[in-house]
Amino acid sequence: MDQSTLALTQFVPRPGIIDLGWGHPDPELLPVKGLREASARVLNRYGSDALAYGSPAGPGPLIEWLCDRLGEIDARSPNPDSVALSAGNSHALDLLTSLLTAPRDVVLVEGPTYHLAVRILRNHGVRVVAVPTDTHGLQVDALAQTVNAFRRRNHTVRLLYTVPTFHNPTGVSLGDARRKQLVEFAEAERIIILEDDAYRELAYDEPAPPSLWSLARRGTVVRIGTFAKSLAPGLRTGFITSDPALTTRICNWGMFASGGGISHFNSLVVAEFGVTGEYARNVDQLRSAYRERRDALLAALRDHLDARATWLSPAGGYFVWLSLLDARDAAALLPLANAEGMSYMPGTKFFVRSQKGSSSLRLAFSRYPPDELAEAIRRLGRALDR
Amino acid sequence: MDQSTLALTQFVPRPGIIDLGWGHPDPELLPVKGLREASARVLNRYGSDALAYGSPAGPGPLIEWLCDRLGEIDARSPNPDSVALSAGNSHALDLLTSLLTAPRDVVLVEGPTYHLAVRILRNHGVRVVAVPTDTHGLQVDALAQTVNAFRRRNHTVRLLYTVPTFHNPTGVSLGDARRKQLVEFAEAERIIILEDDAYRELAYDEPAPPSLWSLARRGTVVRIGTFAKSLAPGLRTGFITSDPALTTRICNWGMFASGGGISHFNSLVVAEFGVTGEYARNVDQLRSAYRERRDALLAALRDHLDARATWLSPAGGYFVWLSLLDARDAAALLPLANAEGMSYMPGTKFFVRSQKGSSSLRLAFSRYPPDELAEAIRRLGRALDR
């Protein structure tokens, strides 16, 4: 019997290794007691309605509260008829790839991009093509050239998957001017932007920039968001804000028309946590904890990797993107880093063509307290010494 | 603002109508108190592990308990490495259609079949073709002819979707001889059988027949099961039993590799309900309640529709399939039935070619107590009188 089959959680710790490879929250920061009480209150308040087949778009109480919350953390609040709930951003991306693409379509992504998003896209037979980024995010001029080049060769190019805010893996946010440029380009060229907005709540220095969804005309941007980063991934609850026509298509999609909302009970638990104010307090605590961790990681990088690497300072999210100097190969360094007792994700994972990103790596500062992050970077420094 | 957007549940009652159109459980039969306590115990026992990203196949505690349970209610128990958990059968069917078919493949179904399964299949661009059934279920000889006919024309025919046990909509179970014949045919012709086993727990007269999965060689049958009918649909938790190779493919599928198990917290709640024996007691109560309802419905049919319709007596599940005599059109009768205060699902819905089944209809006996079922049939009789 395969041991991994009977695991409980996705992350399985390796003894002696501080693993900055996984973009997971610190278990200590998950509000166990609050959610236990919220679950009980949901079943007291809604009774059997919390356990029945749910409304296909998701239960009204979460949609209503979410619209209010997005009004606070984004530039514009959706109408409830433009919202459908999901089982998290991975499920939403899988669903929307089915809905919005056909096999062999070209789907554009950033280079680098979230590596498992590429796997989800490819599951649906599309051709994934990366567009270069810089320290201000996606290069919109390069995007235009890529679209034109593929369209000239009669490829269907209808979708861009992007993480414009606190990017995974780079931590960068797309600049304001580029946001406008990108939205205008997509509107003019009838490209649908699939905006992965997983990290919006985790803004450490100033409010997150306005979502592409909030800036665009109806139908141009589909934004996917999740409670995995701001509350608890095990609840598998997220949301899709688009427009009434797409929301209707989602509700009529067979999976929802048959089984109802895909996260019914858990959505009510999230709503309960929202309306009582516990969600907002939890996000405040997360921002404070992760800000301290980010700062600790950046300080440790200055202390231990100065003159051996450069890195980007993120204003939110989970990740620091690091580039080794002297073209050091990050994948080759990984076994040495593991031997010293730390781990990370090599940069090549995040590029569609794996020869890119070879001297880069992603560090997640979400899962460990400041002292362990500092120790991990000391160990990385020792690995570089070897 | 669209009212339906802010609904809580999928079923919205229509005043004055006893609605036998929906295959939903009676809210009164959902174990609200037991699940409230099980949720609390899960969060006490597992703490943050219950809220973290879950193991892609689903948490070990539910997989282990499920294997034991299937050993009791089926002819064979899976090994844990052949099980992956789902967000219910609608999600599992969507997932497996993505995994096992390509657009334009022929997918075979029963005529009649579960109508929303057809919608899920078609979402993936496959061509759905129905094979005739009779009172013993799918006609395997007709299946062989259909497969051969399409293959001669160079169509790819790799998948059969079937509900062999307490069929939706007919209530019929495939006979033992046909089960063997079907499995042997699929093995010989390399057809994958996607067995929808949603109703196995709801056997009222004798144990459910052995699943096709239990009878077949590894790799021939993928069985999907759900806790929607035996526990609570709002938990959105089900399972896929196949073989280790397919389980690995599911775990490596982008959606799971990225987000982990799709029903993590709720799976632990189901496991808790299972190991304490509450699940088994709940199923005993459901069998008793639904048996009484089935008998009440059949008695009412004898009392009020004798000589005007024929029907099949199901040994399990949710449904009675009724055929009106004198070629009465069931869709045309529906407004009259609604006016009398009852509803049902017209038979044409369950056929791929909608000119079939016009004098048939599906009655669900799951959602209402015996006296309301009897009243609904009295009203149907009055509608037929008009």
Test B9 with A55 for CB contact under 8 angstroms: yes
Nearest residue on chain B to A50, judged by CA atoms?
B234
Q: Which residue has the higher pLDDT, A161 or A3?
A: A161
What gap in Å lies between CA A370 and CA B48, rounded to an integer?
20
pLDDT, position B353 = 83
Q: Is the pLDDT of residue B15 over 70?
A: yes
Test A60 with B8 for CB contact under 8 angstroms: yes
Given phi > 0 = left and psi -120 to 50 = alpha, else beta, which region is A290? alpha
Q: What are the strands of the beta sheet with A83-86, ordered from one edge?
A: A83-86, A238-241, A221-226, A192-196, A157-162, A106-111, A127-134, A137-138
What gap in Å lies between CA B225 and CA B237, rounded to an integer?
9
What gap in Å lies between CA A250 and CA A262, rounded to an integer?
11
User: How confident is residue B6, by pLDDT bands cut at 50, 70 and 90?
Assistant: confident
Mutate to test the interface with A, among B168, B265, B270, B350 (most CBs of A within 10 A): B265
**Partner residue facing A48 (CB), from B27, B53, B89:** B27
**Partner residue facing B63 (CB), from A6, A59, A244:** A6
Contacts of residue B150, defined as CB under 8 A and 6 or more positions apart, other chains included, come to B106, B129, B157
Least confident of A165-179, A344-358, B23-37, B292-306: A344-358
Q: Is the pLDDT of residue A1 over 70?
A: no
pLDDT, position A354 = 66
Strands B221-226 and B319-324: unpaired
Test B258 with A117 for CB contact under 8 angstroms: yes
Test B35 with A43 for CB contact under 8 angstroms: yes
Q: Is the pLDDT of residue A3 over 70?
A: no
For the stretch A103-155, pLDDT in tens is 999 999 999 999 999 999 999 999 999 999 999 999 999 999 999 999 999 99
Encoded tokens for A14: 């390796």
For the stretch B338-361, pLDDT in tens is 999 999 999 999 999 867 999 999
Q: Is the pLDDT of residue A2 over 80?
A: no
pLDDT, position B354 = 66
Given phi > 0 = left and psi -120 to 50 = alpha, else beta, which region is B104? left
Q: Is the pLDDT of residue B3 over 90?
A: no
Q: Is the pLDDT of residue A26 over 70?
A: yes
Test A257 with B119 for CB contact under 8 angstroms: yes
Nearest residue on chain B to A120, judged by CA atoms?
B254
B83 neighbors B238 (Cβ within 8 angstroms): no
User: How confident is residue B85, by pLDDT bands cut at 50, 70 and 90?
Assistant: very high
Cα distance between the two ends of chain B:
39
Q: Is the pLDDT of residue A162 over 50?
A: yes
Q: Is the pLDDT of residue A224 over 70?
A: yes
What would you measure as the largest C-alpha separation in chain A, in angstroms?
63
pLDDT, position B313 = 97
What is the number of CB-based contacts under 8 A between chain A and chain B?
A: 293
Test A6 with B233 for CB contact under 8 angstroms: no
Q: Is the pLDDT of residue B5 over 80?
A: no
DSSP single-letter state for residue B167: -
Residues of B in contact with A107 (CB under 8 A): none
Q: Is the pLDDT of residue B323 over 80?
A: yes
For the stretch A291-340, pLDDT in tens is 999 999 999 999 999 999 999 999 999 999 999 999 999 999 999 999 99
3-state secondary structure B6-42: HCCECCCCCCCCEECCCCCCCHHHCCHHHHHHHHHHH
Q: How many CB atoms within 10 Å of residue B298?
A: 18
Read off the pLDDT of each residue in A94-99 and give the average, rounded to a whole number: 97
Nearest residue on chain A to B49, judged by CA atoms?
A9
User: How confident is residue A17, by pLDDT bands cut at 50, 70 and 90?
Assistant: very high
For the stretch B126-177, pLDDT in tens is 999 999 999 999 999 999 999 999 999 999 999 999 999 999 999 999 999 9
CA distance B72 to chain A (A): 21
Residues of A in contact with B66 (CB under 8 A): none
